[in-house]
Amino acid sequence: MSGNGREAVAVLGGGCFWCLEAVYRGLRGVTEVVSGYAGGTHPNPTYRLVCRGRTGHAEVVRVTFDPAVISYRTLLGIFFTIHDPTTRDRQGADVGPQYRSIILYADEAERREAEAMIREIEAEGLYAKPVVTELAPLGAFHAAEPEHDDYFRRNPWQPYCQAVIAPKVGKARERFRDHYAEGAAGGP
């Protein structure tokens, strides 16, 4: 795992980064969640450029965590619970390559763990269609603009937050309740 001693990093994209950020905040062992862009070629991606779908970047979150408290496997389990990994370049009404399902691995251990989880999901028949989650080595990560930080917590009554983000947060907190800190502030 990547990291500096105790901390490791996972970079995941599964639709809008506002959703992923809200879900991963408040998990025990997660010390930081940063929305951003990765997996593309533009040297200085911005929200506007990425939304046009021409930079090659996906909206992602960089999750910094303590693997002694929460495992990379658990983070992947949450990832595969909160989005549809069978739709290419789309999550619900969010359409375009920036919304693709992607795991950007920092090392071979992360790649192998992600591949193993995808094999398990497909063997269990959890989805009617094949998993299309892209696995790619992590290159540059570009933090998103500050207005995207903690979006769900700051805008809980915004219609997108209520219709799209809140159900994902609820699903993750229900299925992985033992991993969330009591009173965690992931959302409203």
Q: Which residue numbers are catalytic?
A: 16
Nearest to 99 by CA among 132, 123, 140: 132
Beta strands in 16-156 (DSSP E): 30-38, 58-65, 90-91, 94-95, 101-105, 134-137, 141-143
**Contact indicator for 66, 106 with CB cutoff of 8 Å:** no
Count of CB atoms situated within 10 Å of the CB of 44: 8
Nearest to 69 by CA among 7, 9, 25: 7
Question: Residue 121: what residue type?
Answer: I
**Contact indicator for 131, 118 with CB cutoff of 8 Å:** yes
Question: What is the C-alpha separation between 105 and 158, in angstroms, rounded?
Answer: 33
